[in-house]
Chain A
Amino acid sequence: MNGKSLAHAMLRSASLLAPAGRRAEWLKEWRSELWYIPPDASARFCLGAFRDAIWVRRNQPRPRHLHLESPLSCLAFLAGVASLALLIAICLPAPELPDPPGAHLTLRDLPGGCLASLAMSLPWLAAIWAAMGPAQCWPRPGRLRLALFLLLKLALVQPVFLTSFIILLLTGPSLPILPQLLLSGTWGFSLRWILHDQQRRCPVCLRLLTEPVRIGSASETFLEWYGAESACSRGHGLLQVPETSATYAGARQWLALDASWNDLFSEAAERR
């Protein structure tokens, strides 16, 4: 493989990291620039394409959260997914009941299965919680509400885990690795999503906070607070997430806003 084809292969590989909707133009730009690069520098030039593609992927406009802003719509969505998972679980042959042959999982078996699934997901939950860094200190009145919401979300994903586990048991003998990977991925992704969603909720109304806004400058960490800030759309408060840990701002913190801010947020809500 000569230098030119190596460079083109690198660009082609890097383009897979770019979002599909922007991939063609992204590749066109890098290929047109490559035309001007001396052959001995082309491989080094193309290495940067990987970083650029990752940047484009990470900074593409995010879709709104599937109307999951309110806590009720979030729980309704999870309940829908749980119902679908339960339906699949009931239709699948029950792998742990060989007698009588072809026995199916019944509704009576589901609570026990979900409890077992919950017990298995707790270590995962603890590990992901720890990996996500220090949690913010929520105000006392909101803690119970948030804890109940978290418990409900956890309960509603258990049917999904149970169904994944049944699929693993059914397909395990024929496909030795893939089901395990899929199961681990489903659990890891779901639990992480639950915790991530939890961290972006207002402790008062449980609605999703706005997209974070970057505040301050990295080069002035010692002079002013530096991080990202999200607001409750109802004006209940601000979530401040420091970019770097400092003695005066180590973890995320919730800044409750008093009633004097209500006018500002109600005007913004009317404009929306």
Chain B
Amino acid sequence: MADAPRLSHTTAMILQAVAAGHIYGYTVMDVTGLPSGTVYPALRRLEQDRLIQSKWEQPSAATAMRPPRKYYRLTRIGETAIEASRKRYPLLASLTPAEEVRDS
């Protein structure tokens, strides 16, 4: 735990949103209330630091009528980081889990 990266409150909030199942950039914006100019660069930075990883949706019947989206999932390092952040910022737990948790 000592090696867990220390995150700013905003970054921790975005990571918590992803952990809670808000796996798309827009849904992270929606649940955190942060603007797109904050959320997307933060997601990229979290991915660069290997706390989350992104994947594109595979073409399926569900995506036939809409463009495929990029979604984000926590990595093991991300899980460690969010555990540490929850202790540091207890109010993070107030972010409600989403229904759109994607199967791996």
Asked whether A and B interact, the reply is yes
Question: Which residues of the other chain, B, contact A46 by a CB distance below 8 angstroms?
Answer: 36
Given the known inter-chain contacts A59-B44, A219-B8, please indicate yes or no for A48 contacting B67, CB distance below 8 A. no
A223 to chain B, nearest CB (A): 12
Given the known inter-chain contacts A33-B24, A33-B25, A36-B26, please indicate yes or no for A218 contacting B36, CB distance below 8 A. no
Given the known inter-chain contacts A36-B26, A37-B26, please indicate yes or no for A29 contacting B70, CB distance below 8 A. yes
Question: Which residues of the other chain, A, contact B68 by a CB distance below 8 angstroms?
Answer: 32
Question: Which residues of the other chain, A, contact B40 by a CB distance below 8 angstroms?
Answer: 48-49, 51-52, 55
A59-B29 Cα distance, complex, nearest whole Å: 22
B41 touches A52 (CB 8 A): yes
Query: Size of chain B's interface in residues, with CB distance under 8 A?
Result: 21
A59-B39 Cα distance, complex, nearest whole Å: 16
Give the secondary structure class of A's interface. Answer: helix
A55-B39 Cα distance, complex, nearest whole Å: 12
Question: Which residues of the other chain, B, contact A50 by a CB distance below 8 angstroms?
Answer: 37
Enumerate B25-74 residues with CB–CB distance to A below 8 Å: 25-26, 29, 35-41, 44-45, 48, 66-70
A14 to chain B, nearest CB (A): 10
B6 an interface residue at 8 Å Cβ cutoff? Answer: yes
What are 10 A-B contacts with C-beta separation under 8 Å?
Answer: A32-B70, A33-B25, A37-B26, A44-B35, A48-B38, A48-B39, A51-B37, A52-B37, A55-B45, A219-B8
| Interface residues in chain A, defined as those with a beta carbon under 8 Å from any beta carbon in chain B | 28-29, 31-33, 35-37, 44-52, 55-56, 59, 217-219
